[in-house]
Structure 1
Amino acid sequence: MTTAIATAGNAAGPQPAVARAGWARQAVGLPEARWALAATALFAAGGLAQLAGAPPAVWWLLYLACYAAGGWEPAVAGGRALRAGTLDVDLLMVVAAVLAASIGQVLDGALLIVIFATSGALEAVATARTADSVRALLTLAPETATRLRPEGGEELVEAASLAVGDRVLVRPGERVAADGLVDEGVSEVDEAGITGEPLPALKQPASHVFAGTLNGTGALTVRVTREAADSAVARIVALVEEASATKATAQLFIEKVEQRYSVAMVLVTLALLTVPLALGAAFQPTLLRAMTFMIVASPCAVVLATMPPLLAAIANAGRHGLLVKSAPVMERIGTVDLVAFDKTGTLTEGTPRVVAVRPLAPSGLSENALLRLAAAAERSSEHPLARAVARAADERGIGLPEATGFRATPGQGVRAVVDGHDVTVGSAAVLAHGAPRAVRDAATAAAAQVESHGQTALHLVVDGVPLAVIAVADRLRNEARATVGRLAGTTGRPPVLLTGDAALPARAVAEAAGITSVHARLLPAHKAEHLREAQSAGATAMFVGDGINDAPALATADVGVAMGRHGSDLALQTADAVIVRDDLSTLPAVVALSRRARRVVVANLVIAGTFIVALSTWDLVGHLPLPLGVAGHEGSTVIVALNGLRLLRSSSWQEAAGEESRR
């Protein structure tokens, strides 16, 4: 059948032609689905009319309408292919359906039309990609920027017009308009979309900033170092498009052999018709024999040998929380032998949480009392670490007093008056120099111990005296370690971690998850490059991620899997599959289910091939009655279809998961 080319996130912006192609695929996919539904409805109506004893003209008319609704598109496509010098199975299926109707087997022909129309529509819809997500990525960078004039003053200009060397002002809460270096100012910038780091990064003079990242509470003056077309965001778009264009188009077995098979089938059919006629044979029996051969040799059972098991596996996986976007993807999942994970939001929950409150010797206060002071001071801050502290107090049921005189200093922390005490929470910069040296050294040692585990240390200072160190970390998903272990057993190779986060937290999460191979501080291009290197070495790679920065890797991997609940639009559109409920335990199960589906496909192909060879040989060397040929052909079709549909049962998922867990 005709394969819709699955490209991920084809975009507008720098590549308008690619964008138009993406929209064209979407425009094709939806009408195909509507025509397939119409054909199915007409087929069902014809069947009901026939069972109800309606006049033959009624159900014949309904079946013929089914032919028209489901067959016109493959007929037109097959005609175009024929004019281009190729012959595909779609056209042969339409011809076989028409021939079946011409000898009175209108029901069989209509069923054939419905099967092909439905499978083609499912594939077209599943593989269609829109340009929306990449357009959204490009709009992360603001359309306008505040440029500072060399002679003084400022002006509002289009961000796309910024040139290298321009100086722009980025106010609190604004997005950075261009890649550049900070000239003046101090602030914290949320770079999670580009680098994957979960916490805002401190920016000060000489720090790099990226277009589209979100500025915090401080004002920054940025000197542009890259034009818009060469920004980090634009490079992510280009990487996604390049990976999508070069990623091999997935094909099912029948699609790989359809051209040769179709030509051979037509040549034999023509030979069966022309050679006997040239030797003086009667026309009618010769035509009947050739038609019989074309029907019994048509690869209906071969197509159904492939599609139903894979589509049934897709439906089964969907019921268990994993959406696979096409049959070729489901087929390919079973070949995966290397799994790579992103860290933040994938192996971890993506939300910083307080994991410990460490009182220092002179505090004399309980953990809850210390957390109460810290949370009261942090409550007015929008920083992710502040929200983690406030959430921890709420989860423990700690009531918070009012705080006054709140002040936030980028890169340091917050300060407020709580219950008459001067409370400061933040980095090591907030340690009071007036406190005894031994206390400051104890606070520094406690923070170093926290950070050695890949956690973030927050100092709590009350009235100038360090009283506690609060450890904050992104928590590992509950099922992550078991999933990593089972994937290692299933694929025969331990998973790897590819993250843009710093080395210490990356190693801490990897150790907790049971991963030994860690690559940290990776930009989007570096993640994709690691996957390409593995593929060059012969690996079939699956990448699991959730962020904008993961999109190039998702597009490059043989199978890209996105986290559904909190995944970015670009990641969800680029991925081949989506974990709807963010439950990583579905991954080893779907790999096992795909392998089971592939085994069913092989068994079905053996069954279908046996029937085709036997019936075709009978027709060639003997006399195969047409009704018996149709019965044998349809019987093999029913057998392989029912065998494939066994994978719809929930027990198939459980059995596949059980097979995987016993490895």
Structure 2
Amino acid sequence: MSAIQTFNLPIGGMTCASCAGRVERALRQLPEVSTASVNLASEQARIEAPADSLTKLLDTIKAAGYDVPSERVELVIKSMTCASCVGRIERALAKQPGVLEVSVNLATERAQLKVTQGTDSSSLVRAVTQAGYTATLVTEQADQHSSAENSLRRERVLLIIALVLAAPLVLPMLLMPLGVHWMIPAWAQFVIATPVQFILGARFYRAAWKALRAGAGNMDQLVAIGTSAGYGLSVYQWYVTPAGQAPHLYFEASAVIIALIMLGKYMESRAKRQTTSAIRALQALRPEQALRLKNGEEQLVALSELVLGDQVVVKPGERFPVDGKVIEGQSHADEALISGESVPQAKQPGDSITAGAINGEGRLLVETTALGAETVLAKIIRLVEDAQAAKAPIQKLVDKVSQVFVPAVLGIALITLIGWLIAGVGLQIALLNAVAVLVIACPCALGLATPTAIMAGTGVAARHGILIKDAEALEVAHKVKIVAFDKTGTLTAGTPQVAYLQAIDGDTENLLQLAGSLQRGSEHPLAKAVLDACAQQGIEPPQITSSHALSGRGIAGEMGERSLALGNRRMLEEHDLSPADLANKAEALEAEGRTLSWLIEQKPQPRVLGLFAFGDTLKPGAKEAVSRLQALDIETHLISGDNRGSVDKVARELAIDSTHANVLPADKAAIINDLKRHGVVAMVGDGINDAPALASADVGIVMGGGTDVAMHAAGITLMRGDPRLVAAALDISDRTFNKIRQNLFWAFAYNMVGIPLAALGYLNPMVAGAAMALSSVSVVANALLLKRWKP
């Protein structure tokens, strides 16, 4: 059993002394708990229990009907070099009181923690420091972009110095095949190699010592031991070789190994920065100032000075600084980097705009509706950052391997040394082969394989309007075999349109004109559909003398001497009118689930003038979206609360495999659970009434429509209401997971092949050092190929 620890847990939901007593009794019933006391005033429980019993304590409090409030903490961690570092930091943080979950990402150099409310952040920073690394809270990072640039610049300068110093040491080896036999004096080799070993290579010694002090192993220990052995052997050979004889020195091996590893680290750092380019591109969209209109005067102010309701002027070519609503002017907005929509969207009074979009040709006056962290852009950035920081389930295997990797390599190197000594080859050869084993072993590639692929995949997806919430959704999505669609707002436009019209006398243009006159000024959805149809055909409805609503039936109005009415069948029955020749067509349209309206003349002669059928129209690309999925051998289902006729009609038009009609929102989840027995299921909805079904599916995909990216019930949010992005989301998931598998294969294969070759004497230390540097860079470069992906 682990050591006893005192937990101070906040308890949420307590209202009286009996609540505190109930929690206390529940905790004391646990055999692991030594003491437990609950204070109602401070809303805290003080518990003494084994350090590894936190999960059980939380479950007990939850079972008693209360909760432990939690919060998120993010740390920036420096000095990590490999997967072993990640594991050590995670274990150090997990031991801290109040830490519920922890995930450390080598590629982003971030630690994401879920902690109980009120946990001391400074204790988390101290835990990382004691493990041998440096940590700062993200909120303390004044300018992370500038800091990263400065770090990369310093790394480049040190690399150039290392390469310049190592070049003369390796030059004689390069000239030898050309017949030039020349050797730098031993003292000169010593003078050149020493600063490389102990000044430029000091980073490896520092990191190795910190890891050793923390009782763990990492890549730096392998490099420090290997290069020190080569350097020490050279000094020893120089000392014991009689004067006048050329000693066998290996200064060049140690110096070149350090220079090559520094080169690999620099290339790796540059490549890792490219994996975060999507985040930087999104962050660059936020202007720092806005032109506020106050009391008729334009004032240039910082964004922090704006408040909700402020009016902001956005000139042509400028970025929108806030989310808002257009109150004056007309223009177009380029939202390509936010929603992936390549065509600029028309904007006029009443339309919403998104911070970060580029204003087109017109001056707009915008009323602020969201600022700072509440803007759509900020939510997108937060969602992408969370996805890139999260760990894929497959990473668990890597974490287990990394825990034993460095000790295993040290053991193999020792066996190599002893084995070659027994074979009688002498200390020099035995030591060089052991050094080669130490140098070629690379846990870096293992640590970078998964996070770099996830960062590149989620980043390129975000640029095309596909926001992936977490790594688990990314990993599961590539296994999807069944896609279930909601109908309204997902595959269809979600607003009624005139689907069919027929005039008794055959003059449909006149029929539409008369109906448009009746509907002028009405806000009813069917009225809007009639007026939209008029606009599409270039018809200008004339003014009517007067109009009035017919409760539960429709609308009536006068046009000169004529009295007209537009309404449902009830209105026909009241006027004792028959649909006549339109009866059969009306019956067929009703069977398809269409909504019918009849235009009649009341005066001077009561008669039916024509029929209108309203229906939801398919979204552009809906048919292509379904056919793409079926081409991938994915089964498609349509789940809707609409009547059987309208659901079947949409299914026939799109060639969907199976339909479920008249389904209540609460029952959609049951259908999804039933489908899950036949394979991995993705549910696609508009996020309004589909939350239970989205949460029940293996992967929830929500149509954000570019307005709301905080649909937490879904693993994937599509910023545009384009159903074709469903297949694209599954495609980028598949490609990203393939990259993860490729990276892990090469990382494991590299070590499986390289270490035995080094142990058997087939690789000299310099070649091993180059191969080690190349392995990490190749893994990151392979992941970066995802940046070329397009839907």
Question: 1:421 and 2:529 equivalent?
Answer: no
Aligned partner of 2:658: which letter?
A: S
Where do 5+ consecutive residues of structure 1 fail to align? 1-14, 127-248, 655-663
Question: 1:489 and 2:631 equivalent?
Answer: yes
Aligned partner of 1:256: which letter?
A: K
Q: Counterparts of 2:393 and 2:759 in 1: how far apart (Å)?
A: 26
Q: Counterparts of 1:67 and 1:447 in 2: how far apart (Å)?
A: 85
Q: Counterparts of 1:254 and 1:494 in 2: how far apart (Å)?
A: 26
| 1:549 counterpart SS class | coil
Equivalenced residue count is 491
How far did 1:62 drift? Answer: 12
Whether the 8 Å contact between 1:339 and 1:542 is mirrored in structure 2 is yes
| 1:344 counterpart SS class | coil
How far did 1:108 drift? Answer: 4.6
Larger CA deviation: 544-553 vs 103-112: 103-112
Q: Counterparts of 2:545 and 2:204 in 1: how far apart (Å)?
A: 74
Larger CA deviation: 424-433 vs 336-345: 424-433
Aligned partner of 1:473: which letter?
A: G
Q: Counterparts of 2:557 and 2:615 in 1: how far apart (Å)?
A: 24
| 2:539 counterpart SS class | coil
* TM-score, length-scaled by structure 2: 0.52
Whether the 8 Å contact between 2:277 and 2:459 is mirrored in structure 1 is no
| 2:590 counterpart SS class | helix
| 1:431 counterpart SS class | helix
Aligned to 1:384: 525
| 1:336 counterpart SS class | coil
Does the C-alpha gap of structure 1 residues 622 and 100 become closer, same or farther in structure 2, counting only changes over 3 Å? closer
Aligned to 1:529: 670
Does the C-alpha gap of structure 1 residues 65 and 298 become closer, same or farther in structure 2, counting only changes over 3 Å? closer
Whether the 8 Å contact between 1:40 and 1:66 is mirrored in structure 2 is no
Q: Counterparts of 1:640 and 1:565 in 2: how far apart (Å)?
A: 35
For 1:392-541, what aligned pairs fall within 5 Å after superposition?
392-409=533-550, 411-436=552-577, 439-440=578-579, 442=581, 445-463=584-602, 464-490=606-632, 492-535=633-676, 537-541=677-681
Whether the 8 Å contact between 2:278 and 2:459 is mirrored in structure 1 is no
| 2:588 counterpart SS class | helix
Aligned to 1:634: 773
Q: Counterparts of 1:118 and 1:264 in 2: how far apart (Å)?
A: 31
- String of CA shifts for 1:377-396, please: whole Å, max 9, x gaps: 22232221111111111221
Aligned to 1:543: 683
Does the C-alpha gap of structure 1 residues 110 and 16 become closer, same or farther in structure 2, counting only changes over 3 Å? farther
Aligned match for 1:340, one of 484, 487, 491: 484
- String of CA shifts for 1:8-54, please: whole Å, max 9, x gaps: xxxxxxx9969854798999599399887466323421244347769
How far did 1:399 drift? Answer: 1.3
For 1:361-372, what aligned pairs fall within 5 Å after superposition?
364=505, 366-372=507-513
| 1:521 counterpart SS class | coil
How far did 1:121 drift? Answer: 12
Aligned match for 2:694, one of 554, 565, 570: 554
Percent of aligned pairs with the same amino acid: 28
Question: 1:40 and 2:179 equivalent?
Answer: no
Larger CA deviation: 94-103 vs 299-308: 94-103
For 1:44-443, what aligned pairs fall within 5 Å after superposition?
44-50=152-158, 92=218, 104=258, 105-106=261-262, 108=264, 252=392, 255-269=395-409, 271=411, 296-360=440-504, 364=505, 366-409=507-550, 411-436=552-577, 439-440=578-579, 442=581
Aligned to 1:217: none
| 1:644 counterpart SS class | helix
Does the C-alpha gap of structure 1 residues 593 and 262 become closer, same or farther in structure 2, counting only changes over 3 Å? closer
Q: Counterparts of 2:404 and 2:138 in 1: how far apart (Å)?
A: 32
Q: Counterparts of 2:777 and 2:674 in 1: how far apart (Å)?
A: 44
How far did 1:476 drift? Answer: 0.8
Whether the 8 Å contact between 1:541 and 1:557 is mirrored in structure 2 is yes
Does the C-alpha gap of structure 1 residues 36 and 569 become closer, same or farther in structure 2, counting only changes over 3 Å? closer
Q: Counterparts of 1:443 and 1:274 in 2: how far apart (Å)?
A: 93
Relative contact order, CA 8 A, sep 6+: which one is greater?
1
How far did 1:290 drift? Answer: 8.2
How far did 1:94 drift? Answer: 8.2
Does the C-alpha gap of structure 1 residues 19 and 95 become closer, same or farther in structure 2, counting only changes over 3 Å? farther
- String of CA shifts for 1:449-495, please: whole Å, max 9, x gaps: 221122211122221433211011111123212221221120x2430
Whether the 8 Å contact between 1:321 and 1:581 is mirrored in structure 2 is yes
Aligned partner of 2:638: which letter?
A: L
Where do 5+ consecutive residues of structure 2 fail to align? 1-64, 75-100, 102-109, 114-136, 166-194, 229-253, 283-388
Aligned partner of 2:496: which letter?
A: P
For 1:637-648, what aligned pairs fall within 5 Å after superposition?
637-648=776-787
Does the C-alpha gap of structure 1 residues 64 and 519 become closer, same or farther in structure 2, counting only changes over 3 Å? farther
Q: Counterparts of 1:385 and 1:16 in 2: how far apart (Å)?
A: 49
Q: Counterparts of 1:386 and 1:640 in 2: how far apart (Å)?
A: 59
Q: Counterparts of 2:531 and 2:200 in 1: how far apart (Å)?
A: 66
- String of CA shifts for 1:498-521, please: whole Å, max 9, x gaps: 122232222211111111311123
| 1:355 counterpart SS class | strand
Whether the 8 Å contact between 1:381 and 1:408 is mirrored in structure 2 is no
Larger CA deviation: 444-453 vs 338-347: 444-453
| 1:335 counterpart SS class | coil
Aligned to 2:127: none
Does the C-alpha gap of structure 1 residues 53 and 273 become closer, same or farther in structure 2, counting only changes over 3 Å? closer
What's the C-alpha RMSD, in Å, of the aligned pairs? Answer: 5.0
Question: 1:605 and 2:605 equivalent?
Answer: no
Q: Counterparts of 2:742 and 2:433 in 1: how far apart (Å)?
A: 29
Q: Counterparts of 2:402 and 2:587 in 1: how far apart (Å)?
A: 70
Higher strand share: 2
Aligned match for 1:583, one of 722, 742, 753: 722
Does the C-alpha gap of structure 1 residues 269 and 349 become closer, same or farther in structure 2, counting only changes over 3 Å? same
- String of CA shifts for 1:304-332, please: whole Å, max 9, x gaps: 44444454444444454434345543443
Whether the 8 Å contact between 1:551 and 1:570 is mirrored in structure 2 is no
Q: Counterparts of 1:529 and 1:424 in 2: how far apart (Å)?
A: 45
Aligned partner of 2:751: which letter?
A: I
Aligned match for 2:704, one of 553, 556, 564: 564
Q: Counterparts of 1:254 and 1:575 in 2: how far apart (Å)?
A: 21
Q: Counterparts of 1:250 and 1:538 in 2: how far apart (Å)?
A: 29
Aligned partner of 1:461: which letter?
A: I
Q: Counterparts of 2:143 and 2:432 in 1: how far apart (Å)?
A: 32
Whether the 8 Å contact between 2:439 and 2:772 is mirrored in structure 1 is yes
Question: 1:614 and 2:753 equivalent?
Answer: yes
Does the C-alpha gap of structure 1 residues 494 and 610 become closer, same or farther in structure 2, counting only changes over 3 Å? closer
Does the C-alpha gap of structure 1 residues 596 and 110 become closer, same or farther in structure 2, counting only changes over 3 Å? closer
Whether the 8 Å contact between 1:96 and 1:109 is mirrored in structure 2 is no
How far did 1:426 drift? Answer: 2.2
Does the C-alpha gap of structure 1 residues 66 and 358 become closer, same or farther in structure 2, counting only changes over 3 Å? farther
- String of CA shifts for 1:247-289, please: whole Å, max 9, x gaps: xx9853651213421232143256468999999x999999999
| 1:406 counterpart SS class | strand
Aligned partner of 1:483: which letter?
A: A
Q: Counterparts of 2:609 and 2:203 in 1: how far apart (Å)?
A: 81
Q: Counterparts of 2:760 and 2:111 in 1: how far apart (Å)?
A: 48
Whether the 8 Å contact between 2:743 and 2:779 is mirrored in structure 1 is yes
